[in-house]
Structure 1
């Protein structure tokens, strides 16, 4: 039986291949510059080349692979320009989310946010960086939901893809997680108090903590960049 046959009927073969390749690329199982071919991927999943071509198209549009005529398809290198642009977009969108939440947030989301914070505290105490990153992702999604702008997180997530791969190369220490958790708590408190100025400052300080990470990864792995 085809290895993909047990997957949800709602998903096409192209969706499943895309998901697996996306995880491999973002998780750096496939490093920047790695060649990937439709033929090899088709053999891996026991599929025709059409769904592979569709998955490649999605990954290319997301800027994760580079498809060029008459040249091998490769996992895209990091681009400092793309990363800078993505961070600009995310900050602009999330700052407006915070503004909306300060003005009129959906308090029904508060319980989910509080549960997320409790889980973050547990992850920090256990030094579980992988769990922490998942909870951080969910925390920012919940902020959008609380601001009645959950659609905005789709745009934030799209811009985050440019930096998610890079973050995998930088191990998150327990002290770093503690700092980020403190950021979340300060941001949350300011939003719930309706203090837009304080919330905006907390958000920008939080997002700017990625700057030294980018610099460090660039210095350690220059061959992964364009």
Structure 2
């Protein structure tokens, strides 16, 4: 979701390893707390350990891996504190993006939002969770473009990546995608109508959709959370 090497760039073995592990982690084929071996990954890709170390380093930057000297590398467990921090930062950024988007949206921007929503509807009809995840990124990127603060998406992307695994668990529930698209549609309509306050209210409600999932996972899969972090409770 959103971190593959961009088209036109020269790909390296580091890119291939990073993209593979990134997708394995975000799709929860590699779960929080799972151990991964530098040697095993190097053998799998037929490379030396250095490209694997470089790919691991990228994943550490995204807060998805935990590397401890002389101990096994493992998929990072969720941290309630980091989730709260990430969502605080993202909410602050998105409020300003939505305010600016509502002020700046023109016919071209409106058409781009309509195209994004049409693509999301197709993903729902196909029950395509992976495609919907990518389209979710694209929708927020388009809002930043309309707001003329493209760079804000870099921050949103980093913060969003920290909770993407929770989003996958949430989207696995069949009724979640239509609900999120309905949120997107309300946000888009408010932006197109230059209604900043409504856009922000819809955007903040959209961000809160994950709250119940986080609470539930902290109870049913407490091992997914760092032991020193108190689970999120209602």
Q: TM-score surpassing 0.5? A: yes
> 1:92 aligns to what?
92
The size of the alignment, in residue pairs, is 220
Q: Distance in 2 between matches of 1:9 and 1:105?
A: 31
> 2:199 aligns to what?
199
Q: Which deviates more from structure 2 when the two are superposed, residues 120-129 or residues 64-73?
A: 120-129
Q: Could you say what secondary structure the match of 2:182 adopts?
A: helix
Q: Could you say what secondary structure the match of 1:16 adopts?
A: helix
Provide the TM-score with structure 1 as the length reference: 0.89
When the two chains are superposed, the root-mean-square deviation of aligned CA atoms in Å is: 2.0
Task: List gaps (5 residues or longer) in structure 1.
Answer: 1-7
Displacement of 1:143: 0.9
**Superposition pairs of residues 38-49 of structure 1, within 5 angstroms:** 38-49=38-49
**Superposition pairs of residues 50-129 of structure 1, within 5 angstroms:** 50-105=50-105, 107-129=107-129
Q: Could you say what secondary structure the match of 1:169 adopts?
A: helix
Q: Could you say what secondary structure the match of 2:117 adopts?
A: helix
Q: Distance in 1 between matches of 2:165 and 2:190?
A: 30
Q: Which deviates more from structure 2 when the two are superposed, residues 163-172 or residues 12-21?
A: 163-172
Task: List gaps (5 residues or longer) in structure 2.
Answer: 1-7, 227-234
> 1:33 aligns to what?
33
User: Is this contact kept in 2: 1:129–1:173, CA < 8 A?
Assistant: no
Alpha-carbon distance change, 43 to 33 in structure 1, aligned in 2, over 3 angstroms: same
Q: Distance in 1 between matches of 2:76 and 2:26?
A: 11
Provide the TM-score with structure 2 as the length reference: 0.86
Displacement of 1:134: 2.7
